[in-house]
Amino acid sequence: MIETHKQPETAVLVALVTQKQTADQTKEYLDELAFLAETSGVITKKTFTQKLDRADTRTFVGKGKLEEIQLYIADNPVDTIIFDDDLTPAQVRNLEAEFKEIKVLDRSLLILNIFSMRAQTAQSRVQVELAQYQYMYPRLTRMWTHLSRQKGGVGMRGPGEKELETDRRIVQDRIAFLKEKLAKIDKQSQTRRKERDRLVRVALVGYTNVGKSTLMRTMAKADVFAENKLFATVDSTVRKVVLGNIPFLLTDTVGFIRKLPTTLIESFKSTLDEVREADILLHVVDVSHSSFEEHIDVVQATLADIKAADKPTILVFNKIDAFVPKEEWLPEPVHEISGDENEPVAAVAPPSAAEQKQTALAYLKRTYLTRQSDHVVFISAQNRENLDELRETLFKLVKEKHYTIYPNWTFIPLGDAYEEDAAPLG
C-alpha cells in the first residue's frame, strides 16, 4: 500500500512601505510574517511589497500590485494570501472576490491560529476561542461563507469549522457563554494566586522566541517546553525556585509581538495577571536579533497597556553567544602618532572579534542602565554563560521583597547555600 502525505500549504505574503514604515522595516516584518506562517505549517513562496502613503481602502494594495499578485498566482498556484496588517471587513470581502478560492488572511488571524494550535490547557483554549470569535464577529459575513467552503488548514482551526454558526445572534451567544466560562476560570486563578502571596513572584516577559522558556528551564532545573518557533509557550508555567534559602515563584508567560491582536490581550487577562501581579520582572531580550531594540519597545508598550510597566525589572540580554555588534557600538579606530611628521601614521591592530563583542556589550549596558533599567545582565541561557551574575542580581531583588513578607527571616548568602530543584505548581 502506497502512503500519501498531505502537501503543506503555500502562501504569498503582502506588506506596504509607508511614511511610517521604511523599506528595511517592511522587509524585516515580512521575515517575521514568514516565520509566523512557518509556525502554522505554511510555506512562503513569494513576498510582495508596495509603496503607498496608506493602505488602499478597497483592496489594501493598489490595482497594479493586485494584478501583479494575480499574475504570479496564475502561474504559481498557492493556497493562501497573507497580509501583514489587519484587513477591514470590506477589504477582505473585496480581496476574496478578486482571489476566488484562495484564502485571504491577515496578521491577526494568523496569530490567532498559532495560539489555537499551541493552547494546551482548558483555560488557554477558552481564551483563544473567545479571541477568535471576537475577532471574527465584525467579519462574520465573509468569514463564515468563506470558511464553510474550505476543508481546513491555516486559519481554519477552532470556531471557523462550525458551519452551522452562521447566525450573528448565535455567535453573540457563544461569546457571552465563553466570557462567563472564562470569568469562572479567572476567579479560580485569582484564588490560586492569592494562595501564592506568601512567596515573592517573578515573571519572565519578552518578545516571542527570545529564549524565555530556555531560561526558565535552566533556572528552575525542570522540564519546560522550548522550541525555535514563535509562541512556543501560550500557557503560563509556574515553578518554585530557591536562591540561597529564599523560595520564590518563577512564571514563564506568553511572548509579546508587534501588532498583537487586541482580542488576544483582552481574552488572556487571567494569563497576563501573572505579569500584572508579579513583584519582579525578568525582561528577556534576544540581543542577537538585528531589531532587538524595537522588540524592547514593543514589550514595554505592552507592559504599559496592561499596567505592569512600573515594576522592578532586570533587563536580561540573552543569546550573547550569537551576538554580532553593530559598527556604531564600537569605538573609532586608534592610530599611533609618530614623532616624525614625515612618517605615515600607523594604525593600531584592530581589536579581535571577542574584544569587539565585549566593547559593544559594555556600551549597551551603559546605554540601557541610563535609559530604561536599574539592572542589566548579559547571558546565554543555552550555554549557561553569566548565569551566576543573573542569579546574584535576582537574589538581591527577591531578598529585598521577601524581607517585607518575612521581616524576621534569617538569610543565607547565595554562594553558601544549596539551590533546591524547582517544583511545579498548580
Give the cell for residue 39: 509556525
Find out whether 229 is annotated in a ligand binding site: no
Residue 113, φ and ψ in degrees, nearest 5: -65, -40
Pairwise CA distance, residues 214 & 234, whole Å: 15
Q: Tally the C-alpha atoms within 13 A of residue 346's C-alpha that lie toward its C-beta.
A: 7
Find out whether 186 is annotated in a ligand binding site: no
End-to-end CA distance of the chain: 47
Pairwise CA distance, residues 115 & 61, whole Å: 28
Find out whether 26 is annotated in a ligand binding site: no
Return the closest-CA partner of residue 177 out of 216, 129, 121. Answer: 129
Q: How far is CA 185 from CA 180, 255, 261, 369, in A?
A: 9, 21, 22, 39
Pairwise CA distance, residues 383 & 288, whole Å: 14
Find out whether 211 is annotated in a ligand binding site: yes
Find out whether 288 is annotated in a ligand binding site: no
Q: At 18, is the secondary structure helix, strand, or coil?
A: strand
Find out whether 162 is annotated in a ligand binding site: no
Give the cell for residue 373: 533599567
Find out whether 373 is annotated in a ligand binding site: no
Find out whether 41 is annotated in a ligand binding site: no
Please, are residues 313 and 375 in contact by the beta-carbon 8 Å criterion? yes
Find out whether 278 is annotated in a ligand binding site: no
Find out whether 253 is annotated in a ligand binding site: yes
Return the closest-CA partner of residue 383 out of 332, 319, 333, 326. Answer: 319
Find out whether 320 is annotated in a ligand binding site: yes
Find out whether 311 is annotated in a ligand binding site: no
Find out whether 318 is annotated in a ligand binding site: yes
Find out whether 421 is annotated in a ligand binding site: no
Pairwise CA distance, residues 236 & 269, whole Å: 12
Q: At 391, is the secondary structure helix, strand, or coil?
A: helix
Find out whether 44 is annotated in a ligand binding site: no
Please, are residues 203 and 281 in contact by the beta-carbon 8 Å criterion? yes
Quickly count: other Cβ atoms within 10 Å of residue 289's Cβ: 18
Alpha helices of 196-285 — where are they, by DSSP H? 212-220, 262-267, 269-276
Find out whether 127 is annotated in a ligand binding site: no
Please, are residues 32 and 65 in contact by the beta-carbon 8 Å criterion? no
Find out whether 45 is annotated in a ligand binding site: no
Find out whether 271 is annotated in a ligand binding site: no
Q: How many helices (H) and strands (E) does the chain have?
A: 13, 13
Find out whether 155 is annotated in a ligand binding site: no
307: left (phi over 0), alpha (psi -120 to 50) or beta: left
Find out whether 338 is annotated in a ligand binding site: no
Please, are residues 246 and 167 in contact by the beta-carbon 8 Å criterion? no
Find out whether 254 is annotated in a ligand binding site: yes
Q: How far is CA 406 from CA 199, 202, 383, 402, in A?
A: 10, 17, 35, 6
Find out whether 85 is annotated in a ligand binding site: no
Known binding residues are 206-213, 231-235, 252-255, 318-321, 380-382
Binding positions for GTP are 206-213, 231-235, 252-255, 318-321, 380-382
Binding site feature residues for Mg(2+): 213, 233
